[in-house]
Structure 1
Amino acid sequence: MVEEDTLVVEVQYNRNFFPRPFMYFDLDKKEIRYVDFTDKGYSEFIAHLELITRRMCKDVYYCPDSQTLCQGLATLQNDCDYNKFLEYLHEKKKVTVYVDHMHEPLFDWIEIEELKVEDDTNSNEDEDDVIDKEGWEHEVDDEEFSMKRERASIQNKDRF
């Protein structure tokens, strides 16, 4: 049983990020528990990741559980990033780490995804504004049609 103060790092690896929608897909997971990372530096943490994933871990990220990847993805590239990661880990007790083995331009993808969401939001608002502001005039029909006369006309056409 995991104690309440146990720190948990969930490592997601061996798969790819996808740009639209921005996500990490079809992943392998491992959890690191009962390891005190406070006395380790960034290099030792990366070495530990490489040991458990059995692959090089050059592009490493983490994201707060309360945020989407677009909102909260943060890099782990140096000791400064690692210290922020440790602060978050100690505060929340669990954090998810993502390993990008393909060296994708993730932050470019996030920017594109955010622009797309903004465009979708703005375009819907613009359409609604145009509909509300424009008056629609309908032409009055010169001739009135009755359903009986239309049905009779259709039936006569079917006979010939």
Structure 2
Amino acid sequence: MSLAIDVYHTGCFVPKPFYYANPDKESVTGVEVSNMEFKEFMTYLRSLIRNKCRDVYYCLQNRALVDGLRELRDEDDYVRFMDVG
């Protein structure tokens, strides 16, 4: 499975209204994730943004950030991420 991913990083979450302020953005296409495990994907992300990530989140498609934000913490979360990808 190949994905196109927009990676926003180095910003900060603002509570009211809830949004991600001042991020840097990296867009990648053709990311081959079908053979990656969670740890490999995290290593890929860290290399993409030069090790500037502490926590990783994704947002469900067609959902507002406040409703669609999900944390990517482990292999189970990664499987759900790929299912919606």
Query: Normalising by structure 1, what TM-score?
Result: 0.50
Match 1:24 to one of 5, 20, 33: 20
Aligned-pair distance for 1:55?
Answer: 2.1
Distance 1:36 1:88 in 2: 15
Structure 2: which 5+ residue stretches go unaligned?
none
Q: 1:24 is matched by which residue type in structure 2? A: Y
Match 2:49 to one of 27, 50, 53: 53
Match of 2:77 in 1: 81
Aligned-pair distance for 1:51?
Answer: 0.4
Structure 1: which 5+ residue stretches go unaligned?
90-160
Residue 7 in structure 1 maps to residue 3 in structure 2: yes
Structure 1 residues 32, 57: CA separation in 2 closer, same or farther (over 3 Å shift)? Answer: same
Aligned-pair distance for 1:32?
Answer: 1.9
Give CA deviations for 1:64-88 in whole Å, capped at 9, x if unaligned.
2311111111110000000000011
Q: 1:67 is matched by which residue type in structure 2? A: R
Structure 1 residues 50, 31: CA separation in 2 closer, same or farther (over 3 Å shift)? Answer: same
Give CA deviations for 1:16-73 in whole Å, capped at 9, x if unaligned.
1111111001111111211211110111111111101112423101002311111111
Q: Based on CA coordinates, which of the two structures has the bigger radius of gyration?
A: 1
Tell me how many residue pairs correspond in the alignment. 85
Helix, strand or coil: the match of 1:82? Answer: helix
Percent identity of the aligned residues?
32
Structure 1 residues 84, 76: CA separation in 2 closer, same or farther (over 3 Å shift)? Answer: same
> Larger helix proportion, structure 1 or 2?
1
Instruction: Show the 5 A alignment for 1:84-103.
Output: 84-89=80-85
Distance 2:26 2:84 in 1: 19
> Larger strand proportion, structure 1 or 2?
2
